[in-house]
Amino acid sequence: MYGNDFSGEDAPGGLLGEVEAAEAALRAAAERDRGAPGQDVDLAAYFAEVIDADQKIEPRDWMPEAYRRTLIRQIAQHAHSEIIGMQPEGNWISRAPSLKRKAILLAKVQDEAGHGLYLYAAAETLGISRDELVELLLEGRQKYSSIFNYPTLTWADVGAIGWLVDGAAIVNQVPLCRCSYGPYARAMIRVCKEESFHQRQGYEILHMLAHGTPAQKAMAQDALDRWWYPSLAMFGPPDGDSTHSAQSMAWKIKRFSNDELRQRFVDMCVGQAEVLGLTIPDPDLRWNDERQAYDFTQPDYAELMRVISGDGPCNRLRMEHRRRAHTEGAWVREAAAAYAAKQASKEKVAA
Amino acid sequence: MRAPQSRTETADVSGPFDFTLALGDDALIAAQRLAEWTTRAPEMEEDIALANIALDQLGAARLLLSYAGELEGAGRDEDALAYLRDDREFRNCLLVELPNGDFAVTMAKLLVLSAYQLPLYTALAGCADERLAAIGAKTRKESAYHLDHAALWVRRLGDGTEESHRRMQAGIDQVWPYAQELFAAQPQAPVDPASLRADFDATVSAVLAEATLTVPDSAWAPAGGRDGLHTEHLSYLLAEMQVLHRAHPGARW
Kindly give the residue spans of alpha helices, DSSP state H, lying in chain A. 2-5, 14-31, 43-52, 65-84, 86-90, 99-124, 130-138, 155-160, 166-173, 182-210, 214-233, 245-250, 258-276, 301-306, 315-328, 330-350
In-domain check, residue A325: no
Please, are residues A307 and A149 in contact by the beta-carbon 8 Å criterion?
yes
Instruction: Reply yes or no on whether the pLDDT at A1 is more than 70.
Output: no
Alpha-carbon distance A238 to A260, whole Å? Answer: 10
Residue of B54, B102, B245 lying closest to A106 (CB–CB): B54
Asked whether residue A324 is domain-assigned, the answer is no
Rg (CA), chain B: 18
Q: Is residue A235 part of a domain?
A: yes
Is A339 contained in some domain? no
| Contact status of B181 with chain A (Cβ, < 8 Å) | no
Please give the mean pLDDT across all residues of chain A: 93
Nearest CA in chain A to B50: A110
The helix (run of H) or strand (run of E) holding residue A295 is strand A293-295
Residue A112 lies in a domain: yes
| Percentage, residues of chain A above pLDDT 70 | 95
The string over A149-172, giving b where at least 16 C-beta atoms fall within 10 Å of a residue's C-beta and e elsewhere, is bbebebbbbbbbbbbbbbbbbbbb
A346 falls within a domain: no
B217 C-beta neighbours (distance < 10 Å), count: 7
Please judge whether B251 and A216 are an interchain contact, meaning their C-beta atoms are less than 8 angstroms apart: yes
Residue B251 forms contact with A (CB below 8 Å): yes
- Mean pLDDT within A40-61: 91
- Three-state SS string across A105-165, please? HHHHHHHHHHHHHHHHHHHHCCCCCHHHHHHHHHCCCCCCCHHHHCCCCCHHHHHHHHHHH
Task: Give me the half-sphere count of Cα atoms (radius 13 Å) on the Cβ side of residue B44.
Answer: 22
What CATH code is carried by the domain that includes residue A184? 1.20.1260.10
How confident is the model over B52-107, as pLDDT tens digits?
A: 999 999 999 999 999 999 999 999 999 999 999 999 999 999 999 999 999 999 99
Q: Which of A87, A90, A336 sits opposite B160 (nearest CB)?
A: A336
Q: Furthest-apart CA pair in chain B: how many Å?
A: 54
Query: Quick check: A225 and A219 in contact, CB under 8 A?
Result: no
Q: How far apart are CA A83 and CA A90, in angstroms?
A: 11
pLDDT in tens, A159-197: 999 999 999 999 999 999 999 999 999 999 999 999 999
Between CA B215 and CA B208 the distance in angstroms is 7
Continuous segment of H or E residues that includes residue A287: strand A286-288
The beta-carbon neighbor of B161 closest among A101, A324, A338 is A338
* Residue A329, in any domain of the structure: no
Tell me the per-residue pLDDT of A275-300, one tens digit each, with 9 for 90 and over.
999 999 999 999 999 999 999 999 99
Q: If you average pLDDT over residues A90-111, what whole number do you get?
A: 98
Cβ-Cβ contacts under 8 Å, A116 against chain B:
44
Within 8 A of B167 by CB-CB distance, chain A residues are: 331
**Mean pLDDT value across residues A341-348:** 92
Rounded Cα–Cα distance for residues B80 and B86 (Å): 11
Mean pLDDT of A309-323: 97
Whether residue B35 and residue A328 make contact (CB cut-off 8 A), yes or no, is no
Please check whether residue A77 is in contact with residue A308, taking contact to mean a CB–CB distance below 8 angstroms.
Answer: no
Contacts of B32 in chain A (CB under 8 A): 94
pLDDT at A10: 43
Angle at which helix A330-350 crosses helix B130-158, to 10 degrees, equals 80
Q: Which domain holds residue A213?
A: 15-312
Enter the DSSP assignment of B182: G
Average pLDDT (A218-228) is 98
Contact at CB, A339 and B159, closer than 8 angstroms: yes
Nearest to A213 among B59, B65, B248 (CB): B248
Task: List, for residues B119-141, the tens digit of each pLDDT value.
Answer: 999 999 999 999 999 999 999 99
Domains (range + CATH), chain B: 12-215+230-247 (1.20.1260.10)
- Select from A118, A133, A145 the least CA-distant residue to A72: A133
Query: Which residues from A are below 8 Å from B105, CB to CB?
Result: none
Residue A2 domain-assigned (yes or no): no
B218 contact A CB<8A? no
Where do the H-state alpha helices sit in B12-129?
Answer: 16-35, 44-72, 78-83, 94-97, 103-125
Q: What is the pLDDT of residue B6?
A: 42
Mutation site, A115, A134, A157, A331, interface B, largest B CB count within 10 A: A331
Query: At residue B4, does pLDDT exceed 90?
Result: no
**Per-residue pLDDT, B3:** 46
**Structural domains in chain A (count):** 1
Q: Which of residues 108-167 of B touch A (CB under 8 A)?
A: 155-157, 159-161, 163-164, 167
Among B42, B55, B62, beta carbon nearest to A332? B42
Is ipTM beyond 0.90? yes
| Distance from C-alpha of A313 to C-alpha of A224, rounded to nearest angstrom | 17
Chain A contact for B7 (CB, 8 A cutoff): no
Q: Which residues of A touch B47 (CB under 8 A)?
A: 86, 110, 113
| Contact predicate A35/A295, CB 8 Å | no
